[in-house]
Amino acid sequence: MEPEKYVEEKLKQNELQIAAEDPDNPKNFPRNLFIWRSNLLGSSAKGMEYFMKHLLGTQNSVFGKDLKSLGEDLPSEVKWHEVAPEGKLDLLVTIDYRMSTTGLHSDILLPAASWYEKNDLSTSDMHPFIHPFSRAVDPVWESRSDWDILGDWRKSFPVCLKVILASKRTSYCCRFSMTPQWNYRKPRG
């Protein structure tokens, strides 16, 4: 049976649920998160303490109580769990040219070259123009262009996955370095 037809049938028979309906079910956890040039935890989250507690499972400053203990109405769109899980992620990788809050809390931080250290094209949602950049100086230290980083990741990640899947050690995450070599480690938590 084709995957599309299988999913359609199971959804109609109410035998298949969408992951967003039960985000606290361990089967639906986002295990790996790759962030490119974004400070998700520090500025985009608008509630960093909840990301620290539930996504990373680390020290946090959540002092508030949940809706049920406050006698509030519970959400009807998602399944409610009495105890919210902590530490859903196994691996957080950030590619950035600055040391952001997200980079500080990442398992892997890959230093990207900044604007004047690479040839690149840039766009914005503020206007319809495309800005070409030409490298003015060489990248500093171990930083490299996004293109080079993603190219090495593309080469090393499948090799790492083959080893992990062959060993059936699903509690391990792939870690790759700035060179196409790799190793693996136990996830946090």
In the predicted structure, residue 182 carries a pLDDT above the cut 60: no
Reported for 134-142, long-range contacts at CB under 8 A and 24+ positions apart, including other chains, are: 139/113, 139/114, 141/111, 142/111, 142/178
User: What pLDDT is attached to residue 53?
Assistant: 82
pLDDT one-digit tens code per residue, 70-81: 888 888 888 888
Q: Give the end-to-end CA distance of the chain in Å, rounded to a whole number.
A: 39
Residue-level pLDDT at 143: 85
Q: What's the whole-model pTM score?
A: 0.70
Report the chain's mean pLDDT, rounded to a whole number: 78
Q: 159 Cβ partners below 8 Å, 6+ apart?
A: 182
Q: How far apart are CA 54 and CA 48, in angstroms?
A: 10
Q: 154-178, pLDDT tens digit by residue?
A: 887 777 666 655 665 444 444 444 4
- 120 has which bridge partners? 133
Please state, for a pLDDT cut of 90, what percent of the chain lies above it: 0
